[in-house]
Amino acid sequence: MTARAWLLEPGSVPYDVANEAMHRLAERRLAGEIPDTVILLEHPPVFTAGRRAKPEELLWSSAEVEARGGLVRAIDRGGSFTFHGPGQLVGYPILGLGSKPDAVAYLRRLEDAVIGTCADLGVAAGRRDDVQTGVWVGDDKICAIGVRLMRTRVTLHGFALNCETDLSWFRGIVACGLPDLGQTSITEQLGRRVGVEDARPIAARHLATVFDRDLVPAPDDVASLFRVADVA
């Protein structure tokens, strides 16, 4: 029987607000208080540095990032630097992986969901054998993936699919620690605008399929965690 999971689609949410809410929900999922939850949203511009990020991979000074309207945040996922911003669909699945969690299998399923989303939108994307994670179109990454397992059982963080992202932001970092590879977007690949609003329902459908979940809207008290006015 397909298990029910919550779906949250809060729109554009400041990174710090979403990061705090995501961690609170993961703690509740770990305690068995809530079901699996999928968050699909956007962020204002922010560079996030995973646990393997090196200081020299941030190519702009903090002052320059701030002058451009962005932030820099060190976070607890794996991987190196990436960028989040308008026009990018960010997905944070908060899933319990059971008593025998398989992190690699989880990553492959995330990739499958993104590859299927891209295909439905008209972009042929796939994996690369020479890098650990992510979804690519040739030498250009269209979706970054970086996760953490809370106490090895509950997933945090997720994927960032470039729909109509301003790719010039990626000049400020060595994205994913891969200096010789580029970035692309669905819009760039197709030569026409494809927004987050176009990709989001397709991504939700593929996530539901690969993880065998029935996605239903989350209760309002959970959705309120992502509202800026409700954060002290």
Indicate the Cα dihedral angle 171, 119, 123, 82, nearest 10°: 0
Question: Using CB atoms within 10 A of its CB, is residue 199 exposed (0-12), middle (13-18) or buried (19+)?
Answer: buried
| Whole-number Å distance between alpha carbons of 100 and 56 | 37
CA dist 55 → 63, 72, 76, 181 (Å): 15, 11, 16, 19
Residue 104 to residue 31: CA distance in whole angstroms: 23
Active-site annotation holds for 176: yes
The token pair at 61 is 């000074």
CA–CA dist 132, 127 (Å, integer): 9
The catalytically annotated residue of 118, 143, 163, 176 is: 176
Calculate the alpha carbon distances from 202 to 195, 206, 209 in Å: 12, 6, 11
Residue 54: which of 168, 183, 167, 174 has the closest Cα? 174
Question: What is the bridge-based pairing of β-strands 213-217 and 3-12?
Answer: parallel
Three-state DSSP class for residue 183: strand
How far, in Å, CA of 38 to CA of 50, rounded? Answer: 21
> Catalytic residue numbers?
176
